[in-house]
Amino acid sequence: MIPTLFGVTILAFLIANLIPGDPARLQAGPNASREVVERLREKLGLDDPLLIQYSRYLSHLFQGDLGTSIRTRRPVLSDLKTRFPATFELTLTALLFSGIGGIILGTLAAVKQDSLIDHGSRVVALAGVAVPSFWLGIILQLIFFFKLRLLPSSGRIGQFISSPTHISGLYVFDSLFAGNWTALGSSLLHLVMPAVTLSLGALALVSRTVRSSVLDVISLDYVQTARSKGLRERIVIRKHVLRNALIPVVTMSGMTLAALLGGTVLIETVFTWPGMGLYVVNSIFALDFPAIMGFTVLAALIVQIMNLFVDISYVFLDPRIRYG
């Protein structure tokens, strides 16, 4: 994990500094004099060599300091903490959609191999991989907001509805915990379109992985033995097939989370979702290097921790697996 995160900081730092433009000029304004811009560059440390800038950044990072945002003038860590619950709620919902939907669709496709269900799941998987998420989000907005008026087009909660009492920052959980049914209904409606849009690509990946894994397991001897004992087919599938077919799926969950975190940047922009993705997009336009780096490092850390939990979970899924 440590070498990976170290490599991420190097790549993100180099890429951020290759973006054309001058953040000092953007912060000072178009009418600022050259002297003002130069003083600001010196204050921000932008006139130092890249190696010195990176060393300074790494030193602060080891102390838990992600720097100060050039755009908001606030600590990047505070900005990300404020916006993290919105991104986590969206990503978690999309992960549930893709996980549950992918397992059900993939299992049905494997059990009903070469049937209409199998061919339909193949079409869904192809669409999930081929359709750009931002395009799908715009199409859903056109259909369900502009045409049918069934779902809101942007935001986390209705304009005239107060946010629920802050407990976790997750509007659905906070509304449910406080018994605020108005806020709960509005939060769920606002969550549907962005979560479905974000989950489609991951659902395609999970469903095809489940189908392949179930087909590998379903023909093994112990499954045939369970059937010969007279067990119902759904019990055979649930207890004997799915559990042993889930390891590749769990392995994919780490990659799925990485894809979802990357997808939030586009989805939050399309749906004006006030999370970390929208924050980093606005930071890119403002050439806010500390904010860009902070988001990248935090996302990489989340993915690494998720992969660690995935590795640990193997022991509980398959007792035959032991780590030295």
Close Cβ partners of 278 (under 8 Å, ≥ 6 residues apart):
83, 268, 269, 272
10-residue averages of pLDDT along the chain (324 residues): 88 80 74 82 80 87 86 90 93 89 88 87 87 91 93 90 90 92 94 92 87 81 78 76 75 74 86 92 85 88 84 72 59
Are the beta carbons of 206 and 99 closer than 8 angstroms?
Answer: yes
**Per-residue pLDDT at 148:** 92
Helix-helix angle 289-317:2-18, to 10 degrees: 150
What pLDDT is attached to residue 186?
94
Distance CA 261, CA 6 (A): 19
Judge contact between 191 and 93, C-beta under 8 A: yes
Percentages of the chain per state (helix, strand, coil), in multiples of 5: 75, 0, 25
Model pLDDT, residue 188: 94
Q: Measuring CA to CA, which residue among 251, 256, 261 is closest to residue 301?
A: 261
Question: For position 45, what pLDDT does the model report?
Answer: 78
Measured CA to CA, the distance from residue 292 to residue 128 in angstroms comes to 28
| pTM of the full structure | 0.84
42: tokens are 């010196």
Instruction: Enumerate the β-bridge partners of residue 226.
Output: none
- pLDDT value, residue 232: 79
**Angstrom distance (rounded) from CA 242 to CA 118:** 17
Domains detected in the chain: 2-62 (no CATH), 82-275 (1.10.3720.10)
Q: Which of 27, 167, 194 is nearest to 85 (CA)?
A: 167
Return the sign of the alpha-carbon dihedral for residues 42, 290, 18, 278. Answer: negative
Q: What is the pLDDT of residue 322?
A: 62
Q: Of all helices (H) and strands (E), which one includes residue 311?
A: helix 289-317
DSSP state of 215: H
d(CA 65, CA 76): 8
What pLDDT, on a 0 to 100 scale, did the predictor assign at position 171? Answer: 93
Residue 190: the pLDDT is 94
